[in-house]
Chain A
Amino acid sequence: MLTPDLAARLEAFLGAGLVTAKEEAPGSFAVDGVLPSAVVRPASALEVEEIVRFAAREKLAIVSCGSCSKLELGVPPARYDIALDMTGMCQIPHYDAGDLTLSVDAGMPLRRLEQTLAEKQQFLPLAAPCFETSTVGGAVASGIDSVLRQQYGTARDFLIGAEFVDGTGKLCKSGGRVVKNVTGYDLHKLLIGSLGTLCVITRLNFRTFPLAHVSRGHLASFAGAEGALAYRRQLEAAGLPLSNLEVLSPGIATILAVILRSAKCSVPQGLESGGWCSYVAWEGSEAVVARISREVETIARHTGATQGEILEKSADESLGGMLREAFEWLRFASPAVLLLRLALPEFTTEVSAGLFDILKANSSRGAILLRARGIVYFLVQEDTEEGAALDRLEKAAKDAIALAAGKRGYATLLHAPLALKSRASTWAGIPENVGMMRRVKHAFDPQGLFAPGRFWGGI
């Protein structure tokens, strides 16, 4: 617990202005209603080390924060003394455009990074939701999905190193700044999706990618899931290099149409067809883009698309951008929402039917968004967060988690009413290797300073 005396001592050695006491701390640092006792905003890795050492001496719990857009992921912390606001660390200490490698402070906003890289005709495919405000460190630590994973993979595929302060208060590093490197353990990979439970990330190193000359998007509609999934299978079998590949159930398509309209963006006709939709996008030279356009349209016809259109540029940008933000608008799609992310070895019509059976059995509304191979967003909607509605959401969560486990996958609760989070498991039960995760946690953070209780198995 950060008492006023401790807060004063923290401020004394860090300097005034870096510490904000609880009463003045913005609510944005709350994690599911749990507020910190103080907010500290370091400007350097050295200050982070000092804060962590102070916390270690005084046995205080730290939660690292970026823009606070995704703090609801995970379980609320068992203790929360200091919110470490990392937005004060937002420089690019190293960018070798000729080598396509980058070293960036954790507090750098994704949007600002995108602009800097674009000046050199490059980009980072960390196309995470809440893009306008998210920081690089927050996006990586949250493990949240990138809409470009179909082609570029996830952070695991382009994170090449990191610097971070461990639980002993020392600045450490892993990896490096070159695209190929097997020196030492790849500890930086552990940070992805770790929700700040291992360390305080101060800097991340990435390989960057060239911006494509030309890109295109296409939206196809289908009468049912079978057609949409057959389309998806054939696209993958054709080996076409697609940057985006999303399948939307009718409910998702309808919500998306409403959101696009309210944002005064054009709404592709297919979204309002009442059927399943699939959005695909691709990029490359003019010749490559033209070739893929022909193949996509052919495959759409062969798999029974009821509608299909190559999107004009601004419509494609709007739709692609909105799908990147799916986590953001799905979690607010209704007064009460359960949003789960399932990771499955494969997504079949049987799985689709299984998820809709859950909705039917619970008399709930809901929808599915399928992203890349095996990643599914399962949305369950109710009109209130109380009483029988809450019970239905809880049952839907349990049934979906069981379905995922039965298919050798797992489910993560991304959003649920607060009352449900305390009742349901955020994670799909206890994973079989939670013991190994506890060993890693203890190695990084021997005293359990960082976000205690936020992670799998109470870590």
Chain B
Amino acid sequence: MTTSLLRELTSLLGPANVLHHKEDLMLYEYDGSVEKGRPEVVVFPHTTEQVSRIVKLAAKHQVPIVGRGAGTGLSGGALARSGGVMIVFARMNRILEIDLENQRAVVQPGVVNLDITREVEKAGLYFAPDPSSQKSCTIGGNVAENAGGPHTLAYGVTANHVAALELVLPDGEIVRVGSQHGDASGYDLCGLFVGSEGTLALVTEITVKLARKAEAVKTLLSIFDTVDDASQTVAEITARGITPAACEMVDGWTLGVIEDYVHAGFPRDSAAVLLLEVEGLCEAAETQAEAVAEVCRTHCAREVRVAKDEGERELLWKGRKNAFGALGRLAPSNYVLDGVIPRSKLPQALQHIQEIGKKYGFGIGNIFHAGDGNLHPIVLYDPRDAKALEKAIAASEEIIRYCVDLGGALTGEHGVGMEKSELMTLMFSEADFDLMRRVHDAFNPDSSLNPGKIFPLSKGCGEIRIKAKSGG
């Protein structure tokens, strides 16, 4: 980092919006993953024009850039793998426009996900993508990672709820893609940029689509004595063409951990629960709830509870959404995977994952979006034990490889980032990489924007590079 770049950034943004002392930069060395990467300077722009000028300055000094929202990402996407300038969008946090009649809003990237819903809920609208971190994650980050959440089963991921973007390209050019009405003119560039993990452009404004709140919602907690019964239930619900708004599975071990922390009313003595939600018109919610409960009972559900009121419903979801926070109290380190498998293969996948755990001497917990096949196996390990770390890495790789072999994918919502870049060879051929690189180079030819993400650094096959978090 040259002093002249620092001087120019400070002159552009003011000293209150530029951090460069080591003790300040350490805060931005981490995200929600186990990766690390420290930037050389952190800047806080307030406008798109400032973002453009920062990018141009970085290009002039040949320094890489990485964009960051709240830093809640789980794959190292917002970490500075190669140092450089980190652009944090926290101060671009205004909701610019709300069009209730046409169910649209225009927001800056630093707006917190849940705040969009809070702004429009009185009109009976909301922003559907609901990652577990939605109280703190930002919409810019959601767009970069094409974030999901429990309710994406029925309503789709972030890409399904973004109509248009304003972007700053790696050369500083400000462009717009997509349209107000959601139909692209020409190529679907909006569809390309959502989920590109900040490697093609920086997002400076988002037009989101707002969904209408359902008339009725029913939340069910189904309790099972075996994981297999729960997973067979999910497979059958899917096969019958029932699409709940959400279908989450938590295994018995994880339930105990959650209850110790959140006290959500989850049964400690069960092997697994399904947290199911159906919504729609009253008649539809009623019919679906009955259908779902019937499938649960067919697969030996010990009990099917229906939340009596909004308070009970919120408590159940609090338990689910605070699960990873609960896990963080347990072991020095835990590694959360993010594989996806076809739902028809869920029973065999969960069984195989347990076998992998036994093979390596780990217990593996599960809390995940069963309804769309998005697994989150949790491997607990002590990073002070070098052999344990090595085994955790090997176990994780074997699980991910198994997901891909079943016809699934590396990542359902956390993104590739740094964490899984070396595993991309499990899914993509040289021809696939060549094309993705050409598309990447079309917008980011110098790899100045978020370098070292998505693409494998080596040509080797599946060496995971995971660094344990230090401390507890």
B303 to chain A, nearest CB (A): 25
A-chain residues with CB within 8 Å of residue B148 when the two chains form the complex: 180, 182
B416 A343 Cβ-Cβ under 8 A: no
Residues of B within 8 A of A177 (CB): 342, 407
A-B contact pairs, 15 of them (CB 8 A): A170-B434, A170-B435, A176-B408, A178-B340, A178-B409, A181-B411, A183-B410, A185-B200, A192-B184, A239-B213, A346-B101, A346-B102, A410-B179, A427-B186, A456-B186
Identify the stretch in B4-12, B156-164, B265-273, B317-325 within 8 Å (CB) of chain A at 4 or more residues.
B156-164
Known: A439-B443, A442-B442, A443-B435. A433 touches B409 (CB 8 A): no
Closest Cβ–Cβ distance, residue A424 to chain B (whole Å): 17
A132 within 8 A of B: no
**Interchain CB contact under 8 A, B192 and A184:** no
Q: Which residue on B lies nearest to A411, using beta carbons?
A: B185
Given A94-B407, A184-B424, 13 new contacts (CB under 8 A): A154-B183, A178-B342, A183-B424, A186-B159, A189-B188, A209-B241, A288-B283, A292-B281, A343-B183, A374-B183, A436-B175, A442-B442, A456-B185
The reply to whether the CB of B26 lies closer than 8 angstroms to some CB of chain A is no
CB proximity of B282 to chain A, nearest CB, Å: 8
CA of A214 to CA of B224, assembled, Å: 33
CB contacts (< 8 Å) of B386 on chain A: these are none
Q: How far is the CA of A210 from the CA of B148 in the complex (A)?
A: 22
Contacts of A439 in B (CB 8 A): 442-443
A173 at interface by CB-CB < 8 Å: yes
Say which residue of A121, A182, A440 sits within 8 Å of B411 (CB atoms).
A182
5 shortest interchain CB distances as A-B pairs: A210-B241, A189-B191, A98-B344, A345-B180, A170-B431
Stretch binding the partner chain, chosen from B31-39, B252-260, B353-361, B367-375: B367-375
Q: Mark A272-300, 1 if CB is under 8 A from B, else 0.
A: 00000000000011011011100000000
Q: Which residues of B contact A211 (CB under 8 A)?
A: 241
Q: Which residues of B389-437 are within 8 A (CB) of A? A: 407-416, 420, 424, 427-429, 431-432, 434-436
Any chain A CB within 8 A of the CB of B194? yes
Q: In the assembled complex, which residues on chain A have CB atoms less than 8 Å from the CB atom of B407?
A: 94, 96, 176-178
Report if A184-B436 is in contact (Cβ < 8 Å); known contacts: A98-B344, A178-B407, A345-B181.
yes
Asked whether any CB of chain A lies closer than 8 Å to the CB of B14, the reply is no
Within 8 A of A (CB), among B188-241: 188-189, 191-192, 194-196, 200, 212-215, 235, 238-241
Assuming the A-B contacts A185-B196, A346-B101, are A409 and B188 also in contact, with contact meaning beta carbons closer than 8 angstroms in the complex? no
- Is B275 interfacial (CB-CB < 8 Å)? no
Contact B179 A409 (CB under 8 A): yes
Q: Is A26 an interface residue (CB 8 A)?
A: no
Residue B55 interfacial (CB < 8 Å): no
A178-B342, A182-B415, A437-B186 known; A187 vs B436 contact (CB < 8 Å): yes
A315 interface residue (CB < 8 Å to B): no
Q: Is A66 an interface residue (CB 8 A)?
A: no
**In the assembled complex, which residues on chain B have CB atoms less than 8 Å from the CB atom of A190?**
187-189, 191-192
| Contacting pair B212 A239 (CB below 8 A) | yes
How far in angstroms is the closest Cβ of chain A from B161? 10
> Whose C-beta in chain A lies nearest to the C-beta of B342?
A99
**Chain B interface residues (CB < 8 Å from chain A):** 101-102, 104, 124, 145-146, 148, 152, 156-157, 159-160, 175-177, 179-189, 191-192, 194-196, 200, 212-215, 235, 238-243, 280-284, 286-287, 340-345, 369, 372-374, 407-416, 420, 424, 427-429, 431-432, 434-436, 438-443, 454
Chain A residues with Cβ below 8 Å from B243 are: 210
| A440 and B195 contact, Cβ closer than 8 Å, known pairs A98-B343, A176-B427 | no
Q: Check if A343 sits within 8 Å of B239, measured CB to CB.
A: no
Contact among B145, B200, B284 for A182, CB-based, below 8 A: B145
**Are the CB atoms of A121 and B241 closer together than 8 Å?**
yes
A122 within 8 A of B: yes
Q: Please, which residues of chain A bring their CB within 8 A of the CB of B215?
A: 239
Give the CA-CA distance A310 to B279 in the complex, in Å: 26
Smallest beta-carbon distance A73→chain B, Å: 13
Across the interface, name the chain B residue whose C-beta is closest to A408: B180
Q: Report yes or no: A98 in contact with B124, Cβ–Cβ below 8 A.
A: no
Bound: A38/B191 CA distance, A: 35
Residues in B neighbouring A455, C-beta threshold 8 A: 186
A122 to B240, CA, bound (A): 10
Chain B residues with CB below 8 A from A292, complex form: 281
Which of A186, A443, A456 lies in contact with B191, CB distance below 8 A?
Answer: A186
Interface pair A343/B181, CB less than 8 Å apart: yes
Question: Across the A-B interface, how many residue pairs have beta carbons closer than 8 Å?
Answer: 247
Nearest opposing residue in chain B for A292, CB measure: B281
Closest chain A residue to B403 by CB distance?
A178
CB distance from A299 to the nearest CB of B (A): 14
- With the chains together, A443 CA to B435 CA distance in Å? 7
Tell which of A153, A178, A184, A446 touches B341, judged by Cβ atoms closer than 8 Å: A178
Measured CA separation A443–B183 after assembly (Å):
23
Complex Cα spacing A97 to B344, Å: 9
Q: Are A193 and B424 in contact (CB under 8 A)?
A: no
Bound Cα distance A455, B407 (Å): 35
A409-B181 contact in complex given A98-B235, A456-B186, C-beta closer than 8 Å: yes
Q: Check B187 against A194 for contact (C-beta < 8 Å).
A: yes
Beyond A173-B428, A180-B373, whether A410 also contacts B185 by CB under 8 A is yes
How many angstroms between the C-alpha atoms of A227 and B316 in the bound complex?
Answer: 45
Asked if A183 meets B411 with Cβ closer than 8 Å, knowing A345-B180, A433-B176, A436-B175, the reply is yes
- List, in ascending order, chain B residues with CB within 8 A of A346's CB: 101-102, 181
With the chains together, A437 CA to B189 CA distance in Å? Answer: 8
Are A192 and B188 in contact, with the CB atoms below 8 A? yes
- In the complex, are the beta carbons of B435 and A100 less than 8 A apart? no
Check if A180 sits within 8 Å of B439, measured CB to CB: no
Residues of B within 8 A of A156 (CB): 160, 188, 191
Chain A CB within 10 A, most for which of B239, B435, B439, B443: B435
By a CB distance below 8 angstroms, the chain B residues around A291 are 281-283
Docked Cα-Cα span, A168 to B432, in Å, equals: 12
Query: Distance in Å from the Cβ of B198 to the closest Cβ of chain A?
Result: 12
A432 touches B176 (CB 8 A): yes
Decide if A375 touches B409 in the complex (CB within 8 Å): no
A185 with B175: in contact, given A288-B281, A436-B189 (CB under 8 Å)?
no
Would A287 and B436 count as touching, CB distance under 8 A? no
- Do A168 and B416 form a contact, CB below 8 Å, given A184-B424, A285-B284, A428-B185? no
Partner of A373, one of B156, B181, B213: B181
A375 to B182, CA, bound (A): 10
Instruction: Report the Cα distance A174→B429, complex, angstroms.
Output: 11
Residues 433-449 of chain A: 1 if any B CB is under 8 Å from the residue's CB, otherwise 0? 11011011011101000
A198 to B241, CA, bound (A): 35
Complex contact A440–B189 (CB within 8 A): yes
Q: Once bound together, how far apart are the Cα atoms of A182 and B454, in whole Å?
A: 11
Q: Is A431 an interface residue (CB 8 A)?
A: yes
Chain A neighbourhood of B412, CB < 8 A:
178, 180-182
User: Which residue of chain A is the closest to B439 with respect to CB atoms?
Assistant: A443
Q: What is the distance, in angstroms, from A388's C-beta to the closest C-beta of chain B? A: 31
Instruction: Known A285-B287, A409-B179; judge A182-B413 contact (CB<8 A).
Output: yes
Q: Which of B239, B374, B424 contacts A98 (CB 8 A)?
A: B239
A166 within 8 A of B: yes
Query: Which residues of the partner chain B approach A284 to less than 8 Å between Cβ atoms?
Result: 283-284
The yes or no answer to A179 lying at the interface (CB within 8 A) is: yes
Residue of B nearest to A170 (CB): B431
How many Å lie between the Cα of A187 and that of B193 in the bound state? 10
Q: Which residues of B contact A100 (CB under 8 A)?
A: 238, 241, 343
In contact, B185 and A374 (Cβ under 8 angstroms):
no
Among A339-379, those with CB < 8 Å from B are 343-346, 373-375
Closest approach, in angstroms, between the C-beta of B445 and any C-beta of chain A?
10
Tell me which of A182, A287, A432 contacts B283 (CB under 8 A): A287
Give the residues in chain B near A166, CB-CB below 8 Å. 431, 435
Contact B434 A180, beta carbon cutoff 8 Å:
no
Chain A residues with CB below 8 A from B373, complex form: 99, 178-180
